[in-house]
Structure 1
Amino acid sequence: MTVASETRSVVVERDIAHPPEKLWRALTQPHLITEWLMRNDDFQPVIGKTFRLSGDWGGVDCEVLTIEPGKTLTYTWNHAHEDPAFDLRSVVSFTLTPTASGTLLRMEQTGFRPEQKQAFGGARHGWQAHFTNLERVLAGLE
């Protein structure tokens, strides 16, 4: 039996009319993460820190892999499932690039196996909705 090692990625980029520092707060402060992404149990921007993101459908187990304050944040995004086809092991990376009008936010989620069409499609749609929520949260921040 051969195991396919090819994986796919979801990439979402959006120009956001807020400075990187403000965006960084929304990416790293637990109460703000809850407002735009999902409930979380004690996120901290510290390499090796584990946390869980929870939604109505269940949740994902995460671990902070890299952090460069104001610039990059990467963490695992793992959803365990009894059916291996739905067992997702992925990595989410956020990159912030200052622009004349604010920040270019790039999110890449890597690790979708070819047979994980539903998870891949859900992520493509979901991240767009999360970014819309993020912009709403940012608009309300001082």
Structure 2
Amino acid sequence: MTATSTETRSVVVERAFPHPAEKVWRALTQPHLIEEWLMKNDFKPVVGERFEMRADWGAVDCRVLVVEPNRTLSYTWAAYGLETVVTWTLTPMGTGTHLRMEQTGFKPDQQQAYHGAQAGWPQFLAKLERVLAGPA
């Protein structure tokens, strides 16, 4: 199979947390908790709502696409010419939750962003793990 300019790539990171889906969902949707593990933001879990993530290096413009409480959260992720979609999928398992993060839409000429996401998301999820381990 040959690569074409229309092909895109995805970054997928999965983790199992010893916490109920409701607690993981709160960490994904409450602005003060999102700030602790990801970035400053003005997020609201409402489909169609626009929000911004802010970090030292700049800002990410986002728009909420899917909100299924304790199950699925999806939003656009646009910064510096990058236009991707981040989807969080929560699956209850025993006493915990399996969390899958997928960021789709990296174009072939967006190597730096793709590799940045590959390196960055595992670090963000490690921080999320610490937030979940705390009181919430």
TM range (shorter): over 0.9
User: What's 1:10 paired with?
Assistant: 11
Structure 1 segment 16-95 matched on structure 2, within 5 A: 16-40=17-41, 42-79=42-79, 81=80, 87-95=81-89
CA distance in 2, matches of 1:56, 1:13: 26
Give the unaligned 5+ runs of structure 1: 82-86
Superposed CA RMSD in Å reads: 1.0
How far apart are residue 53 of structure 1 and its match?
0.2
Give the letter aligned to residue 40 of structure 2.
R
How far apart are residue 4 of structure 1 and its match?
1.1
Give the unaligned 5+ runs of structure 2: none
SS in 2 for 1:53: strand
C-alpha offsets along residues 17-54 of structure 1, whole Å, 9 cap, x if unaligned?
A: 111000000000000000011000x2110000100001
SS in 1 for 2:19: coil
- Structure 1 runs of 4+ aligned residues shifted over 2 Å read none
Q: Across the two proteins, how many residue pairs are aligned to each other?
A: 133
Give the letter aligned to residue 109 of structure 2.
E
Q: TM-score, normalised by structure 2?
A: 0.95
CA distance in 2, matches of 1:125, 1:141: 27
User: What's 1:84 paired with?
Assistant: none
Q: TM-score, normalised by structure 1?
A: 0.91
Q: Percent identity among equivalent residues? A: 61
